[in-house]
Structure 1
Amino acid sequence: MTNNSSLDAGKSSGRLINDRVIFIQVLVAVLLCINLTLILTFFMKEIFYTNMRYILFANALFSDCINIIMTNVMLLFFNFSVPVQSWSCIFFCLLPSLCNYVTPLTLTAMSLERYVAVCMPLRHAELCTAGRALQVILIIHSLSIIPYIVVLIIFFSSVTFSFFTQHIICSVDALILHRWQGHVRSAISQFYFLIMCILIAFSYVQIIKVAKAASGNNKESTRKGLRTVILHAFQLFLCLIQLWTPFIEAAVLQIDFSLFINVRYINYILFNLSPRCLSPLIYGLRDETFLLALKQYVFCCPFIDTVKR
């Protein structure tokens, strides 16, 4: 009787995991299709790839696509207990860890761009050029790689060569061999996000000041910029919570492994995929110029030609 019950429980658990994996694959496929469609639309009009705001938007989309693909691969490895060599795991962790910083840093840069557009309109054309956008993207990626370099230096100083010949279940936690290493990674992440929160809050406050003094069309433009910054702040908040999920999951793992699986599944959807659903909403659907171009190329509407070439 006990054996049959255990077998039934095992089948139920396996079916639950498979159902969740299928659901996530559908969700990932939808997000990737949306993001890739938006990226294609970005390259279709000169007004987009010569405008700083849209260039930063495309950078966020690229980062989100890479993050979704790599984290999904790691999730599949974990769910099906697929072992990989340790050195391969380092590569699999590199790109998602890099993108975890690229996206929020890009959101911060986009908020600052809105601040310049609303609060310094006469200097916007001078400060927010396509060339400056590429410089900003280079800075974003340089800042994003620093935390991972620190983690790698600490990691390489803590392991022997034999570790790289082992096969492990790949996750970022596998590279954290000591608790203090996790604290260092968390401290760096929190410092980054504290600076980003300050910059977004600064943009928000300055735009509010302009909104109170604005009138007519300027007031409507200011309100739109304010809503955009608020959405960026919400995205950043979700990314910030993602920093704490490894600590929550580690604590839950000590209590119950089944509960750990459930918590990791929920965290992945809420704090990894959800923030990446908002980027298409903010600029892909709320932006009138981009929406018109999207309709023109996705729905094959040649009569929609109000977007400047």
Structure 2
Amino acid sequence: MQNLTEFSSNATSPMRLSVIIKVCVVVPFFCIFLFCMVAMLHTFASHRQFLESTRYILFSFMLVNDSLQLLTSVLLFLFAMAQLKIIIAFCTPLLFLSIVTFQNTPLILATMSLERYTAIFHPLHRPAAWRSDRIWITILFLVLVGSIFPVVDFSISRPHPSVDVLSTLVFCKSPNLMSSPVQTLFRVSQNGLFFAVVAIVILFTYIRILLQTRSMRQGRVSAAKAMHTVLLHGFQLLLCMMAFMLPITESLIVLHHDWLPEDLNFFNYFSFILIPRFLSPLIYGLRDQGLRGYMRRAVQCCRHRVRPNATGKPHIRSF
């Protein structure tokens, strides 16, 4: 019995070390992402010109959406690493929020591209819903559209009447709650529809702005900036679509490398879920000259707020 216990302990220690390494990689990465998102949102809330711009309001909504998506994703990751079972009543909202925020991102990108399109072609006759004081109507519409399909999906997967959702413990993973072939086909179809429609919208707006840029004599600079912005939205869409690379990478890695299933899942999660979600808003935010300038000033103010005086003690500057 003692030898069996020692063998079991030696076998599980590498797995525990692997779990610790994965957690130590994901949690600091998420903290850095969250710090950047909070800094951007604080910059938006602190300056009126951002709150009066439709483009920045939509970008702020995308920051909040991606932060919620990664927050739920990291929580589910930590539950999986800890092999922790939770009740269905708590797991279902987490999965629902994760799916809704995942689908909202391409919708927001399409809306931001259309906003640039209307700003170029209809600068004086923009629809009322595109104004900064009424953009919340568009945002609510996006949330509603992004929630319809997950509601239908979860309605299909109603638990058996004998299962108590308030007491039954499960590993909080999508296959444990939504594993029927009908649901799998439904999710694949809806994701393909979402990303296809968004890709068409972005491609249409990019081509129209490109043609307009070549024919315009005045306002050529603003049209070129709008074209580059729409092109960046296309790149952000490609980053979001990297999540659909999971089956391809799994088959390629299994064929060429002898990876453990948990290591393969972590590689896919970190490479195709975390990194794209981190890069997408960061690239777009730091590319903007106005936002970058305000964030640089904020960093400089924090850096000069505390200065050592002659006695070696920090001197707090008052503003």
Stretch deviating more after TM superposition (32-41 or 227-236) = 227-236
Partner in structure 1 of residue 316 of structure 2: none
User: CA, structure 1 residues 215+21, in 2 after alignment: closer, same or farther (shift >3 Å)?
Assistant: farther
Question: TM-score normalised to the size of structure 2?
Answer: 0.83
Partner in structure 2 of residue 11 of structure 1: 13
Partner in structure 2 of residue 77 of structure 1: 79
Match of 2:51 among 27, 49, 52: 49
Please report how far the alpha carbon of residue 65 of structure 1 lies from its aligned counterpart in structure 2 after TM superposition. 1.1
Distance of 1:83 and 1:196 partners within structure 2: 36
From the CA coordinates, give the structure whose radius of gyration is larger: 2
User: Pairwise CA RMSD of aligned residues?
Assistant: 2.9
1:154-303 equivalences in 2 (<5 Å)? 154-156=156-158, 159-162=160-163, 164=165, 165-215=167-217, 218-243=219-244, 245=246, 259-300=260-301
User: CA, structure 1 residues 249+91, in 2 after alignment: closer, same or farther (shift >3 Å)?
Assistant: farther
- Count of residues paired in the alignment: 297
Distance of 1:148 and 1:248 partners within structure 2: 26
% identical equivalent positions: 27
**For each residue in 1:65-84, what CA deviation from the matched residue of structure 2 results, as whole angstroms up to 9, or x when unmatched?**
11111110110001110000
User: CA, structure 1 residues 228+25, in 2 after alignment: closer, same or farther (shift >3 Å)?
Assistant: same
Please report how far the alpha carbon of residue 223 of structure 1 lies from its aligned counterpart in structure 2 after TM superposition. 2.7
Name stretches of at least 5 consecutive residues in structure 2 with no aligned partner: 303-319
**For each residue in 1:88-135, what CA deviation from the matched residue of structure 2 results, as whole angstroms up to 9, or x when unmatched?**
110111211111112221111111111222333343596631134211
Please report how far the alpha carbon of residue 274 of structure 1 lies from its aligned counterpart in structure 2 after TM superposition. 2.4
Does 1:34 pair with 2:36?
yes
User: CA, structure 1 residues 258+3, in 2 after alignment: closer, same or farther (shift >3 Å)?
Assistant: farther
User: CA, structure 1 residues 161+206, in 2 after alignment: closer, same or farther (shift >3 Å)?
Assistant: farther
The answer (yes or no) to whether the contact 1:186–1:243 under 8 Å persists in 2 is no
1:25-174 equivalences in 2 (<5 Å)? 25-124=27-126, 128-156=130-158, 159-162=160-163, 164=165, 165-174=167-176
Partner in structure 2 of residue 304 of structure 1: none
SS in 2 for 1:130: coil
Distance of 1:128 and 1:86 partners within structure 2: 40
Q: Structure 1 counterpart of 2:188, which letter?
A: S
Q: Structure 1 counterpart of 2:121, which letter?
A: C
Distance of 1:119 and 1:186 partners within structure 2: 35
Please report how far the alpha carbon of residue 258 of structure 1 lies from its aligned counterpart in structure 2 after TM superposition. 5.7
Distance of 1:137 and 1:279 partners within structure 2: 19
Please report how far the alpha carbon of residue 7 of structure 1 lies from its aligned counterpart in structure 2 after TM superposition. 4.9
SS in 2 for 1:162: coil
Q: Structure 2 counterpart of 1:266, which letter?
A: F
Q: Structure 1 counterpart of 2:271, which letter?
A: L
Q: Structure 2 counterpart of 1:291, which letter?
A: R
Q: Structure 2 counterpart of 1:17, which letter?
A: V
The answer (yes or no) to whether the contact 2:55–2:112 under 8 Å persists in 1 is yes
Distance of 2:299 and 2:127 partners within structure 1: 30
User: CA, structure 1 residues 146+252, in 2 after alignment: closer, same or farther (shift >3 Å)?
Assistant: farther
SS in 2 for 1:300: helix
The answer (yes or no) to whether the contact 2:156–2:183 under 8 Å persists in 1 is yes
The answer (yes or no) to whether the contact 2:106–2:194 under 8 Å persists in 1 is no
User: CA, structure 1 residues 285+125, in 2 after alignment: closer, same or farther (shift >3 Å)?
Assistant: farther
Stretch deviating more after TM superposition (103-112 or 243-252) = 243-252
Q: Structure 1 counterpart of 2:172, which letter?
A: C
The answer (yes or no) to whether the contact 2:88–2:169 under 8 Å persists in 1 is yes
Distance of 1:146 and 1:250 partners within structure 2: 32
The answer (yes or no) to whether the contact 2:285–2:292 under 8 Å persists in 1 is yes
Question: TM-score normalised to the size of structure 1?
Answer: 0.85
Distance of 2:268 and 2:241 partners within structure 1: 12
Please report how far the alpha carbon of residue 22 of structure 1 lies from its aligned counterpart in structure 2 after TM superposition. 0.6
Instruction: Using CA pairs under 8 Å that are at least 6 residues apart, name the structure with larger relative contact order, 1 or 2.
Output: 1
The answer (yes or no) to whether the contact 2:65–2:105 under 8 Å persists in 1 is yes
